[in-house]
Amino acid sequence: MGGKSPGRRIKRGPTLAERADRHRLYQDSVQCPEEDVTFYTSVFGKLRGGRRPMILREDFCGTANLAVQWCLSDPKRRAIGIDLDEPTLAWGREHNIRPHARKLGNRLKLYRANVLDPRREKADVTCACNFSFCIFKERADLKRYLKLAKEGLKQNGLLFLEIYGGSEAIIATEEDRECGRYEYVWDQHSYNPITNETVCHIHYRFRDGSTLERAFTYDWRLWSIPELRDLLLEVGFSDVRVFWEQLEDTDDDQVEEGEMIYGSGEYEDVTGKEVEQQESFLVYVVGVR
Ligand SMILES: C[S@@+](CC[C@H](N)C(=O)[O-])C[C@H]1O[C@@H](n2cnc3c(N)ncnc32)[C@H](O)[C@@H]1O
C-alpha cells in the first residue's frame, strides 16, 4: 500500500519564553530595591546630619518594587509611586503590593500620572531609577521635570538620578549576563552622536533555546553627568553630588582579556574628584535641595 501515513501532531508545551513573565524577569535581573533603600538612607544621613528619610517618591515607578521595599524597611515610612502605564502599575499592585497589603496599610500610594503633573505631597527623597528621565530628549523638558522634582521635595530633600555612561555607552553593542535559569541581554541597538539619542532593548534567552525578544524597549537621550549637574543647579538645587558605582573586587592578574567586571552595588562619593573613564559605569547624580 502506498500513500503517506497520517501526520501526527506532536504536542509540545509552551516554551520557557512563552511561560515567562516579563515584569518578574525585569525585577529579578535589573533591580535591587533593598540596596537602593540602604543607599538613599545612608546618603541622606551623611548629608543631613544623621537624619532618617521617611517619605519616598518613586518617579517612573513601573511595578513600584522600590516604593514597596521602602515602606517595608520601616513601619513609619511612606511612599508614593508615579507611572504613566496602567498595566505595569496593575502588575505591581497584584504582585508587589497585595502580598504585603496588611503591612503596607495606606502608607503607599500609586498614581497613574505623568511625572510632569504637579503634586502636593512632599518627599524627603525622590528617585528616578534606571535612567527613566532620559525619556526627556529636550533640555527644556528635562529642566521642567527637575524643577518640579525640586518643588516636590521637602526643605532638606534629595533627588537621586541614576544614569549610565562610559566609552561603550555611545556605541551599538550587546552585553549578556547569566541570571540563573536565563540570560539577560542589554542591546544598545543604536546611538546617534548628533543628538545623543539611543534606542535600547532588553531581551531574555532561555535554556530551551526560546527567547523573549525586545521584552522592553527604550528610546532615550543619554544625558551626561555635567549636563545633569548644570540643569540641577539652574533649577535651584543648592549642591550636586556624584556617587560612582565601585567595581567588584577582582584580582587584576586573574582577569582575562574581554572578561566582564561587574559593578559591586557600592557607591563612592566622587564629587570634585577625577575619575578614570570606564567602558561602562553607573552613577547616581544627587540634587541637594
Ligand atoms: C525604565 S522603566 C523604569 C522602571 C523602574 N523605575 C526601574 O527603576 O526599574 C520606565 C518607566 O517610566 C514610565 N514613564 C515613562 N514616561 C513617563 C512619564 N512622563 N511619567 C510617568 N511615568 C513615565 C514608563 O511607563 C516605565 O514604567
**Would you say 285 and 161 are in contact if contact means Cβ atoms under 8 Å apart?**
yes
Quick one: angle between helices 225-234 and 139-151, nearest 10? 60
Ligand 1 pocket, residue 62 CB under 6 Å: yes
CATH code, 16-166+222-288: 3.40.50.150
Tell me: the pLDDT tens digits for 4-32?
556 667 677 899 999 999 999 999 999 99
Q: Give domain limits for the chain.
A: 16-166+222-288, 173-215
Question: For the chain, what percent of residues have pLDDT higher than 70?
Answer: 92
Pocket of ligand 1 contains residue 188 by CB under 6 Å: no
242 lines ligand 1 (CB under 6 A): no
% the chain with pLDDT above 90 = 88
pTM over 0.85: yes
83, 125, 200, best to mutate for ligand 1 pocket (most atoms within 8 Å of CB): 83
**Burial class of residue 133 (count of CB atoms within 10 Å of its CB; 0-12, 13-18, 19+):** buried
Residues 6 or more apart whose CB falls under 8 angstroms from that of 90 comprise: none
Q: Indicate whether 2 pLDDT > 60.
A: no
